[in-house]
Chains A and B, each alone.
Chain A
């Protein structure tokens, strides 16, 4: 559905986007993560046809964003990181305007507006002025605007930025529903836990370069040579720390919250052997766990946190 090929965009000599390539299949949700100034918004603006690349191309539904921006716009909905609302305009009028602007006419237009109002759950707001809504509600109306012409591809730049926890949960559900409906979603966010729960896969970008693409676990396994393991013993840890350090592949043993945490360079079989040896040595093992890596770990692991 979405293919980027060597996308390049400079601003005054700075390569905001430098040879970015990745792809997303239909009906999938891809999280786009990276520190501020990494090139996320620039890439998204190019995909939304608001900017042009200096080289490379991107195809949405087979249409080039450089050669066929009109066709791309027909099948793409873009929600930028600002609401973009009008004064003296009700929610219904706001959505009606964008439906008209997408060349929806008569009954089709009315149906599109009422469907979106229903889908977004903003029926109570239909006669409220858009500018008077809270940030979260504006965000919801903005998502409705991006969906009004029933696009196949959704590009959402920081969509959860202004939402309260409850609205975030509702938003997550909306995105999953859209993906289940066959829409492809590309979304960026700083709230990384948010992304890990919504996205099928993630793409990490820094200084305009793609650092990694895949599922969170795949990427972590790909980039980490060691896994982090944790052992909790019944009673004192006397001698356990020393014993672990003597085992092959074990590094940096330290105590954290009653657990012994350490890096382990072996594979699954080696890990089984390690547990056996611990038990054979008579250590009262209460818990043994592999540290579950999240998106934040991945982010810290991959990026240097530098902006251009």
Chain B
């Protein structure tokens, strides 16, 4: 047998260790017109930029490597943050439209393996496009004005965020079945990408200058600030990318599966990362520690709020399949309880993270003012996610499906933001409509927490305390209601209107 055939046979055998999705998609990729066009276009763009850079260098007016590299990065950013993610969006969506995703579901490939396979394919696509640009980027280094570390770090950062953008698009493509909604979601995704593009530009400039205040390039940066920023951004990127994969997996899984545990684990890691990064200031000066507590309250609070909307509103009854899987005999099962679905465990999960938040603040030596602010953050999260859920479950238990509960939470948040000003205008008819923060805005969590010093000086504590306590009691109510339902799986409902054997609440077809 000839050597090339031996080599191909060897490659074929090695491909067994790759994801089947990657093998299939790479085979399709090399024949796809779209990829040929983008590969060709990137080569042409790289060649043109490099030619201009070389021409500029020949004038002898200075080094042209810096702007050549910036222009090449612009081209790569367009490909990595717009073109390839667009492909990722349609990759999974087309599988759903053509119903081939159903055929994959029937195989041994789990939804997670499918999503990871799709993501890895985008990684291969990106690596190929980046490799096509590599000779031109090397040329920018030769032209001078830019150091090797800056080039390396910038490319790695751009690559990572490009993969992240692909993960985001994969996740978005799983959200809706209808074409119109998909287009709408992708439009919104486009805006997000635009923001990310701006962020990438800023990051590049940051890297170029060696941090916000640093005067030198990345590689020669004397301060650790830029590296710290990079480490934070990278860890956030990796953690949120994993969560995007889990979210897409969640959307592709059958409702009867346990779709909660990976997401809970992923989002806890993300929250612990937020806490860990703020704790790096633990030995710093008081101002740094105070800033860290503020960052913890803002990012941690936003994270908790978002997570609580989805976890506290989840169905209390679990499917029979999930219930059977949860019957673990491990002596650590009580520790794992909050990562499992149903039974009000979502509320326990949020409360546990709130405890971590307050503990991290205590470690940072937060003063009483900051502690009260953090408690208020937790109190508002509890109230706005706990109260509507508990009362809905109490008053309309038959209609308390996750979707309805989430709508109720969002409606309450919206009402608390808009109603105080609307009612004030309608009831008091003021001559001058004053929108400055005042006592009537205490219901608005965003404005109250942003104006906390004013709440402290005027001692407007009664409303936040009342809301927080109501929220905490509602959380406890949800937990106790859930505990009562946690002992058995969803039962057969003869009318089919409520909980079912296959899935809790209303049933959905998979795709």
Q: Which residues of A contact B (CB under 8 A)?
A: 8-11, 13, 15, 45, 48-57, 66-67, 69-70, 73-74, 76, 78, 80, 82, 84-89, 93, 97-98, 100-103, 105-106, 109, 145, 149
A95 CB to nearest chain B CB (Å): 11
Q: Are B501 and A66 in contact (CB under 8 A)?
A: yes
Q: Are B254 and A52 in contact (CB under 8 A)?
A: yes
Q: With a CB–CB cut-off of 8 A, which chain A residues contact B103?
A: 80, 84, 98, 145
Q: Does B24 contact A (CB under 8 A)?
A: yes
A189 CB to nearest chain B CB (Å): 20
With both beta carbons as reference points, the residue of chain B lying nearest to A90 in the complex is identified as B27
Q: Are A10 and B254 in contact (CB under 8 A)?
A: no
30 contacts between A and B (CB under 8 A): A11-B509, A49-B106, A49-B254, A50-B510, A52-B501, A53-B500, A54-B493, A55-B493, A55-B494, A55-B496, A55-B500, A55-B501, A56-B492, A67-B321, A69-B321, A73-B106, A84-B98, A84-B102, A85-B98, A85-B100, A88-B28, A88-B32, A89-B27, A93-B27, A98-B103, A100-B20, A101-B20, A101-B108, A103-B108, A149-B107
B99 CB to nearest chain A CB (Å): 5
Q: Are A101 and B104 in contact (CB under 8 A)?
A: yes
User: Known contacts A54-B496, A66-B320; can you find 20 more A-B pairs with CB under 8 A?
Assistant: A9-B507, A11-B509, A50-B102, A50-B510, A52-B256, A53-B500, A55-B500, A56-B492, A56-B501, A73-B106, A80-B103, A84-B98, A85-B100, A86-B100, A87-B32, A93-B24, A100-B16, A101-B107, A101-B108, A109-B16
Q: Are B99 and A50 in contact (CB under 8 A)?
A: no
Alpha-carbon separation in the docked complex, A205 to B426 (Å): 62
Alpha-carbon separation in the docked complex, A100 to B109 (Å): 9
Select which of B98, B105, B255, B492 is within 8 A of A50 by beta carbon.
B105
Alpha-carbon separation in the docked complex, A45 to B32 (Å): 32
Q: Does B462 contact A (CB under 8 A)?
A: no
A89 with B24, Cβ < 8 A, contacts A55-B493, A84-B98, A145-B103 known: yes
With both beta carbons as reference points, the residue of chain A lying nearest to B105 in the complex is identified as A50
B454 CB to nearest chain A CB (Å): 51
Q: With a CB–CB cut-off of 8 A, which chain A residues contact B31?
A: 88
* Chain B stretch 239-289: residues in CB contact (< 8 A) with chain A: 254-256
Q: Which residues of B contact A (CB under 8 A)?
A: 13, 16, 20, 23-24, 27-28, 31-32, 98-100, 102-109, 254-256, 319-321, 324, 492-494, 496, 500-503, 507, 509-510
Q: Are B23 and A97 in contact (CB under 8 A)?
A: yes
Alpha-carbon separation in the docked complex, A66 to B325 (Å): 12
Q: With a CB–CB cut-off of 8 A, which chain A residues contact B254?
A: 49, 52, 69
Select which of B105, B106, B502 is within 8 A of A54 by beta carbon.
B502
With both beta carbons as reference points, the residue of chain B lying nearest to A54 in the complex is identified as B500
Closest 8 interchain pairs by CB? A52-B502, A100-B20, A101-B107, A55-B492, A54-B500, A88-B31, A10-B496, A97-B24
Select which of B20, B28, B99, B256 is within 8 A of A82 by beta carbon.
B99
Counting chain A CB atoms within 10 Å of each CB, which of B32, B319, B321, B494 scores highest?
Answer: B321
B344 CB to nearest chain A CB (Å): 23
With both beta carbons as reference points, the residue of chain B lying nearest to A101 in the complex is identified as B107
Alpha-carbon separation in the docked complex, A134 to B321 (Å): 41
Q: With a CB–CB cut-off of 8 A, which chain A residues contact B502?
A: 52-55, 66
Q: With a CB–CB cut-off of 8 A, which chain A residues contact B98?
A: 84-86
B259 CB to nearest chain A CB (Å): 13
Q: With a CB–CB cut-off of 8 A, which chain A residues contact B32?
A: 87-88
Q: With a CB–CB cut-off of 8 A, which chain A residues contact B507?
A: 9-10, 52, 54
A54 CB to nearest chain B CB (Å): 4
Q: With a CB–CB cut-off of 8 A, which chain B residues contact A100?
A: 16, 20, 23-24
Select which of A55, A73, A87 is within 8 A of B108 by beta carbon.
A73
Q: With a CB–CB cut-off of 8 A, which chain B residues contact A88?
A: 27-28, 31-32
A100 CB to nearest chain B CB (Å): 4
With both beta carbons as reference points, the residue of chain A lying nearest to B257 in the complex is identified as A69
Q: Are B107 and A102 in contact (CB under 8 A)?
A: yes
B177 CB to nearest chain A CB (Å): 14
Select which of A85, A87, A98, A106 is within 8 A of B16 by beta carbon.
A106
Q: With a CB–CB cut-off of 8 A, which chain A residues contact B105?
A: 49-50
With both beta carbons as reference points, the residue of chain B lying nearest to A70 in the complex is identified as B108
Alpha-carbon separation in the docked complex, A51 to B502 (Å): 9
B507 CB to nearest chain A CB (Å): 6
With both beta carbons as reference points, the residue of chain B lying nearest to A52 in the complex is identified as B502
Q: With a CB–CB cut-off of 8 A, which chain A residues contact B13?
A: 106
With both beta carbons as reference points, the residue of chain A lying nearest to B16 in the complex is identified as A105
Q: Are A84 and B320 in contact (CB under 8 A)?
A: no
With both beta carbons as reference points, the residue of chain B lying nearest to A98 in the complex is identified as B107
Q: With a CB–CB cut-off of 8 A, which chain A residues contact B256?
A: 52, 66, 69
B87 CB to nearest chain A CB (Å): 13
A44 CB to nearest chain B CB (Å): 12
Q: With a CB–CB cut-off of 8 A, which chain B residues contact A8?
A: 492, 496
Alpha-carbon separation in the docked complex, A186 to B503 (Å): 26
Q: Are A78 and B503 in contact (CB under 8 A)?
A: no
Q: With a CB–CB cut-off of 8 A, which chain A residues contact B24?
A: 86, 89, 93, 97, 100
B133 CB to nearest chain A CB (Å): 25
With both beta carbons as reference points, the residue of chain B lying nearest to A82 in the complex is identified as B99
Q: Are B106 and A50 in contact (CB under 8 A)?
A: yes
With both beta carbons as reference points, the residue of chain B lying nearest to A87 in the complex is identified as B28
With both beta carbons as reference points, the residue of chain A lying nearest to B102 in the complex is identified as A50
Q: Are B503 and A52 in contact (CB under 8 A)?
A: yes
With both beta carbons as reference points, the residue of chain B lying nearest to A142 in the complex is identified as B103
Alpha-carbon separation in the docked complex, A297 to B445 (Å): 70
Q: With a CB–CB cut-off of 8 A, which chain A residues contact B106?
A: 48-50, 73, 76, 78
Q: With a CB–CB cut-off of 8 A, which chain B residues contact A11?
A: 509
Q: With a CB–CB cut-off of 8 A, which chain B residues contact A85?
A: 98, 100
Q: With a CB–CB cut-off of 8 A, which chain A residues contact B23?
A: 97, 100
Q: With a CB–CB cut-off of 8 A, which chain B residues contact A53?
A: 500-502
Counting chain B CB atoms within 10 Å of each CB, which of A13, A54, A80, A93 scores highest?
Answer: A54
